[in-house]
Amino acid sequence: MSSDSFYDWAVEEASPSRIGIRDVAAAAGVSPTTVSHALSGKGRLPDETRQRIASIAEELGYRPNVNARNLVSGKTGLLGIVVSASQETPFGLGDFDYFIQLLSAATGAAVERGRALVVEGVRSGPDAFGTVEVDGAIVVDPVSDDPLIDALDRANVPVVTTGRRDRPPAGGRPECWVDNDHVEATEEILAHLESHGAKKVGLISTAPVTSYTRDAISGYKAWCSLHGQEPMISTVEGPINEGAGFRAAEELLDLADPPDAIYATLDQLALGVLAAARARSLTVPDDLMVAGCTDSQASAWADPPLTAVLLNPEEIGRSAVSTLIDLIEAGDSVPDPVVVPTGIVERESTARLTGPGGVQAAGQAGSSRDSE
């Protein structure tokens, strides 16, 4: 009656008490020990037996009891995930859709490997969440002086960050991360803007407390120096919302020689840019091209729909979990960093030219590449 599958549309056939290792053993005509060894790759068994047992287990839909397993291993089976923050940066994250997608995928990946992911979002102090014992932790978008990260390191809790730390962990501890290549992604979106007719591109970004911001800025600067353009950067302080993007856009558009395209490192900022354009009766994309980083529903529904850099948060979440579990299980070897590919979803906000000459049809759903 309880403990049912979350999406149990077709309620499993009267669920005659769950399949256990003993059932698999009986079906295969071996002992539970052998099943355990076969499935875990331990013990001494011929490969043929291993495969036979594996296929029987598969067929029976055997899923080991997580609690029993954790009981033996002495682990809690809990992984923590937390959005990095610090005194100066109360909340480093600007994007709801991004976080929810990452979280959702990470949850799935964790459960698939027999762990549960517990979230800690607001951190008023060391007391919050004080009693949770986790086998490891994921820190999203680590900011420079987040005290939590040091605390985790000191407590020897395995940590994987999504986005890179600004300095390696103390005490020679391993550094594990999952990230996009934001330098490359920035160069690609800038190339996209240029190929669609942008003459001068401005950048709106947050303070460089996270690696993705630093990467975007350096990618932008590199691109500028390569194209002989003077960098035009407006940095947002305080909370990240459309109003902040609006003000930053005004700053850029008030320049003596204003840009005719703006790339914002967060979708909310880009939405603010659209508002600023509207306030000045600038047509998007003809007078001003706008693109943002991180796609969202709001971007897709904006007027006009926003071109966006796709960061693949699901893949980041899954990889982070997988890396963290590897880190927890392989005590000695350190898992390699993971770089998750990015993409661009092209929408009307940058549809000024398509290729050399020619105007792209203005449709709500732009073409998308690299989106699964």
Point out which residues bind DNA (CB under 7 A): 17-18, 20-22, 29-37, 39-40, 42-46, 49, 62, 64-65, 68-69, 71-74
Q: The tokens of 136 are what?
A: 């490891």
Q: How far is the CB of 95 from a second copy (least distance, A)?
A: 9
Q: How far is the CB of 320 from DNA (least distance, A)?
A: 24
User: Which parts of 265-348 are beta strand (E)?
Assistant: 289-293, 307-310, 338-340, 343-345
Q: How far is the CB of 7 from a second copy (least distance, A)?
A: 5
* Nearest CA-CA partner of 84 in 250, 213, 174: 213
Q: Which helix (H) or strand (E) holds 97?
A: helix 96-112
DSSP secondary structure code for residue 62 in this structure = -
Residues 268-287 contacting a second copy, CB under 8 A: 268, 271-272, 274-275, 279
How many CB atoms within 10 Å of residue 283?
A: 11
Of residues 83 through 102, those in contact with a second copy by CB under 8 A are 90-91, 96, 99-101
Q: Could you tell which of DNA, a second copy, none binds residue 122, using a CB distance below 5 to 8 A set by kind? A: a second copy
360 binds, among DNA, a second copy, none (CB under 5 to 8 A by kind): none
| Site residues (CB under 8 A) for a second copy, limited to 288-307 | 297-298, 301-303
3-class DSSP state for residue 151?
helix
Q: Write out the binding residues for a second copy, residues 6-25 only, by CB under 8 A.
A: 6-9, 11
Given the rule CB under 8 A, which of 48-56, 104-112, 176-184, 226-234 is the region that contacts a second copy?
104-112
CA-CA distances (angstroms) from residue 277 to 18, 252, 270, 294? 60, 11, 11, 20
Residues in Cβ contact with 357 at an 8 Å cutoff, skipping those fewer than 6 apart: none
Instruction: Scan for tokens 């990452």, then name that residue.
Output: 102
Q: Determine if 132 is a binding residue for a second copy (CB under 8 A).
A: yes
Task: Enter the tokens of residue 354.
Answer: 């398509």
Binding segment toward a second copy, per CB under 8 A, in 38-46, 110-118, 181-189, 357-365? 110-118
Would you say 36 or 241 has its CB closer to a second copy? 241
Question: Which of 27-35, 194-202, 207-215, 233-241 is the region at the interface with a second copy (rule: CB under 8 A)?
Answer: 233-241
Which one of 28, 139, 152, 325 is in contact with a second copy (CB under 8 A)? Answer: 152
Distance CA 217, CA 235 (A): 10
- Binding partner selected for residue 6 from a second copy, DNA, none, CB under the kind-specific 5 to 8 Å limit: a second copy
Q: At closest approach, how far in Å is the CB of 108 from DNA?
A: 20
Joined tokens for residue 362: 């203005």
Among 70, 218, 235, 360, binds a second copy (CB under 8 A): 70
Q: Interaction with a second copy in 317-356: which residues (CB under 8 A)?
A: 328, 331
| Other beta carbons within 10 Å of 202 | 26
Min dist CB 354 to DNA, Å, is 55
SS3 206: strand
Q: Which is nearer to a second copy, 100 or 170 (CB)?
A: 100
Token pair belonging to 223: 């691109």
Q: What would the two tokens of residue 7 be?
A: 């999406």
Stretch in the footprint of a second copy (CB under 8 A) among 63-71, 168-176, 189-197, 250-258: 63-71
d(CA 288, CA 196): 12
Going by the DSSP 8-state scheme, the letter that residue 172 receives in this structure is: G
